[in-house]
Amino acid sequence: MLFGILPLFLFMMAPESSQHSSSGAVMIGKVLNFIILFGGLGFLLRKAIRDFLEAKARQISQELKEAAQWRQEWQEKREEITSRLAKLDEELIKIRQESARQAEIRKKEIIKLAQQEAERVKALTRKEIEWLYQKNLLHLKEYAAEMAIQLARKKIKEALSPERHRQIVAKSISSLGKLYEKFVDR
C-alpha cells in the first residue's frame, strides 16, 4: 500500500519551481525514508515487540498482584497493631501486676536466702566461739596449773624449814628401810 501511494506523491510535485520542488522533494524523501525505515522495523520487530510488551504486561500484572497482597498484609498488620494499641493499657496493667508478683516472689527468695545465710554465719560463729573457748580454756588451765605449782612451791618453801626438811628425809628413809625389810623377809 505504501508503495502504491509513493508514486502519487512524486508526481504531484510541480516542476516549475525548482527551488521549492527540490526542498519539497527532500522533505518528502525524508518523510518517506522515515516511514519506510520505521514501518519496516515495526514490521520486522512486531513479534518481538509484542512478546516484550506481553511479558512486560505479565510482569506488571504480577507486581500489581504482589503489591495488592503486600498491601493486604500490611493492612492486617496495621489492624493488629491498632487493636494491640487499644489493648495496650490492659497489657501494661497485666505486665505491672506480673512484675509485682515476680518481685514479691524474688523478695521472698532473697529473704529466705538471707535467713539461710544468717543461720550459716551463726553456726560458723558458734563453732568459732566454741573453738576459741576450748583453746582459751586449755590456756587458762595451763596458766592455773602453773600458778598452783608456783603457789605450792612458795608455800612448801615457806613451810619447809631446814629442820623440817631433815625430819621428812629421815622419816622417808626409815619408811623405805621398813619396806625393804618386808620385801627381803618374804
Residues 30-51 have pLDDT tens digits of: 888 888 888 888 788 888 888 9
What Cα–Cα distance (Å) separates residue 172 from each residue in 16, 143, 178, 179? 187, 32, 10, 10
pLDDT tens for each residue of 102-119: 999 999 999 999 999 999
pLDDT tier at 121 (50, 70, 90 boundaries)? Answer: very high
Place of cell 566454741: 130
pTM above 0.75, yes or no: no
Can you tell me whether residue 67 is helix, strand or coil? helix
Phi, psi angle pair for 48, to nearest 5°: -65, -40
**Which tens digit of pLDDT belongs to each residue from 162-173?**
787 788 888 888
What pLDDT, on the 0 to 100 scale, is given for residue 122?
92
